[in-house]
Amino acid sequence: MERREFLVGAAALSVLAASNTGLMAQTGGALEKTSLTLGVGGKPLLYYLPLTIAERRGFFKDAGLDVTINDFGGGAKSLQALVGGSVDVVTGAYEHTIRMQAKGQDVRALCELGRFPAIVIAVRKELADKVKSPADFTGLKLGVTAPGSSTALTIQYAMVKAGLKASDAPLIGIGGGASAVAAIKQGQVDVIAHLDPVIAKLEADGDIKILIDTRTEEGTRALFGGSNPAAVLYVKKDFADANPNTSKALVGVFVKTLKWLHSATPEEIADSVPAEYQLGDKPLYIKAIANSLPTYSLDGVLPMEGMQSVLNTLKILDPEFANATIDLAATYDDRFIKG
């Protein structure tokens, strides 16, 4: 019995050693932390499609990572979870790294997921004759994923650019998915700043008229004057410093995912996501994917031009940033995507 137990134990150690060797080969060293909690605000949205694909196609597991995903009502809430310590990493809007630096907290993007915001601003069809641009938003109810999120920032920026104040219309958090669709259909909000598949569903049903569309490079430049990075993977600097191999593995997962997305068909992508994300209309969801594919980063690298564009947006919108000194290089840690 003792010999048998020894042999079983030796075999198990051999398997474990082989596994660790594989992880070291992928990351340049053993993973410091294999079980992670990741925060996201509105996972069913195509804004976060790279995260869903990485999860559903097993790319996290392939890298030796056990990732638990916590989906919050909006990007601002997932940021709060990171600051509060209830999640290790976040997929969220790049602008949050700038906001945190202004507050004296070192939060850094590790990898770009979206190169265009993919946010659409649209008005309820019944109001389309009266509301033709953000200059007409005064007093209207504006639906966003959550106050403080990138959808809120975008619609407020559009208002300020049109000559209004950001406070001239109230923001109402309507979440993502079916709740956002219902908010427009039931007249709970007058204007919506949101993403696919919500926008694709509302447009197909004839419920909205699109005013601003940042799903394309042309639309992004028209609003922001340049490229404007969207979702990124971001962490506290302390986490990246303490877990360099884990951070490198995470970045590797998302780079692999981005390459897969740009090589797959919209049908293959749709087959990889949960059915409930498709809002009961798979053909429409496939069309929404096709519309959104150009918005995803090609290689995960965050360009300085885009970072500067986001900072310029914040300087115009938020008095806190008017005279703030922000070191953009300190909002992006590129060491894990380079190696």
Q: Do 146 and 77 meet the contact criterion of CB atoms below 8 Å apart?
A: yes
Residue type, 57: R
CA distance linking residue 260 with residue 195, whole number of Å: 21
Q: Do 149 and 75 meet the contact criterion of CB atoms below 8 Å apart?
A: yes
- Specify the 3-state DSSP secondary structure of 295: helix
Domain with CATH 3.40.190.10 in the chain: 31-116+229-338, 120-213
CATH topology of domain 31-116+229-338: D-Maltodextrin-Binding Protein; domain 2 (3.40.190)
CA distance linking residue 200 with residue 154, whole number of Å: 18
Mean pLDDT of 300-306: 95
Task: Express as a percent the part of the chain with pLDDT over 70.
Answer: 91
Task: State the CB neighbour count (10 A cutoff) for residue 302.
Answer: 25
CA distance linking residue 207 with residue 34, whole number of Å: 45
Q: What is the pLDDT of residues 231-245, one digit of tens each?
A: 999 999 999 999 999
Q: What is the pLDDT of residues 58-113, one digit of tens each?
A: 999 999 999 999 998 788 889 999 999 999 999 999 999 999 999 999 999 999 99
Element (DSSP H or E) covering residue 173:
strand 171-173
Beta-bridge mates of residue 112: 232
pLDDT of the residue at 222:
93
Q: Indicate whether 175 pLDDT > 50.
A: yes
* CA 31 to chain centroid: 25
Which CATH number fits the domain 120-213, given the four candidates 3.40.50.261, 3.40.190.10, 1.10.390.10, 3.40.50.150? 3.40.190.10
Q: What is the pLDDT of residues 49-65, one digit of tens each?
A: 999 999 999 999 999 99
Mean pLDDT of the chain: 90
Beta-bridge mates of residue 134: none
Mean pLDDT of 305-325: 88
CA distance linking residue 310 with residue 318, whole number of Å: 12
Task: Express as a percent the part of the chain with pLDDT over 90.
Answer: 79
